[in-house]
Chain A
Amino acid sequence: MKKLLLLLFAFCFTLTTGFAQEKGSVLIKDGNLITITNGNMPNTDLLIEDGVITQIGNDITAPRGVETVDASGKYVMPGIIDAHSHISGVDINEWTNPVTAEVTMEESINPNDINIYWALAGGVTSIHLMHGSANVIGGQNETLKLRYGSDMDGLRFEDAPRTIKFALGENPTRVHGQGFDVQPRTRMGVEQVIRDHFDAAIDYQRNRREYLDAKEAYDNGNRSTPPVPVAKNERLEVLVDILEGEVLVHTHSYRADEITMLMRVFNDYGIEDYTFQHANEAFKVAPELKKNGAYTSVFADWWAYKFEVYYSTAYNASILNANGVKNSINSDSGELIRHLNHEAAKAVHYGNTSKQDALKMITINPATQLGIDEKVGSLEVGKHGDVAIWDGHPLSIYSKTLKTYVDGKKYFDRAEDADDMRLKVDAEQDFDEASGRWYNENGRHSETCLRGAEIRFSKQGMKLQGN
Chain B
Amino acid sequence: MTKDTEIIMTYLKSTISACLLVLLLGMSAEAQITKKAEFGKFAITNGTIHTVTNGVIENGTVLIENEQIIDVGADVNIPSDFEEINASGKHVYPGFFDAGTQLGLQEIGAVAVTNDQAELGDFNPHVRAFTAINPSSVNIPVTRVNGITHVISMPVSGRLAGKATLIDLYGYSPDSMAVSPNAGLHLNWPTSKKGGWWDDRSDDEVEKEYKKDLKELSDFLSEAQFYDKMMTDFERNPNDKQQPDMNKKMQAMREVVNGEIPVIISVDAKSDILDVIEWTENYPDMQFVLAGVRDGWRVADEIAEAGLPCLVSTLYTPERDYDNYQRPYQNPGKLHAAGVKVAIATGEVENVRNAPYHAGFAASYGLGKQEALKAITINAAEIFGVDDKLGSIEKGKQANLFIADGDPFEPMNHITDVFIRGNKIPMVSRHIQLYQQYLDRGAKTN
Residues in chain A within 8 A of chain B (CB atoms): 114-115, 117-118, 121, 170, 283-284, 286-287, 301-307, 310-315, 318-319, 322, 334-335, 338-339, 342, 345-346, 348-351, 355, 395-398, 400, 417-422, 425-426, 428-429, 431-435, 437-443, 446, 458, 460-464
Contact = CB atoms under 8 A, between A and B. Distances in A.
Nearest to A461: B198
Given A115-B317, A335-B316, A441-B156, A350 B193 contact: no
Contacts of B323: 419
A458 to B, nearest CB: 8
B431 interface: yes
Contact of B108 (A304, A419, A463): A304
B318 interface: yes
A400 B364 contact: yes
A338 to B, nearest CB: 7
Contacts of A310: 107-108, 138
B315 A442 contact: no
B317 A334 contact: yes
12 contacts: A115-B317, A170-B110, A305-B350, A306-B111, A315-B432, A345-B410, A349-B411, A350-B431, A398-B410, A417-B324, A417-B326, A439-B101
A304 B409 contact: no
Given A319-B438, A441-B156, A462 B198 contact: yes
B204 interface: no
A121 B156 contact: no
B360 interface: yes
Given A432-B270, A442-B109, A348 B191 contact: no
B414 A439 contact: no
Interface stretch (B73-81, B351-359, B380-388): B351-359
Interface in B229-246: none
B444 interface: no
B193 A348 contact: no
Nearest to B294: A438
A349 B412 contact: yes
Interface string B262-283: 0000101111100000000000
B430 interface: yes
Given A398-B363, A433-B195, A439-B100, A306 B435 contact: no
Given A313-B435, A419-B324, A463-B198, A438 B193 contact: no
Interface in B405-426: 409-414
B438 A284 contact: yes
Interface string B127-142: 0000000000011000
A249 to B, nearest CB: 25
Interface in B103-158: 106-111, 115, 117-118, 138-139, 154, 156
Contacts of B440: 322
A434 B325 contact: no
A438 B270 CA distance: 14
Interface string B180-197: 000000001001011111
Interface in B278-317: 291-294, 313, 315-317
B361 A304 contact: no
Contacts of A334: 317
Contacts of B156: 437, 439, 441
A319 B435 contact: yes
B186 to A, nearest CB: 10
Contacts of B101: 439
B446 interface: yes
Contact of A461 (B200, B269, B292, B294): B200
Contact of A342 (B293, B351, B357, B431): B357
B6 interface: no
B3 interface: no
B441 A287 contact: yes
B319 A313 contact: no
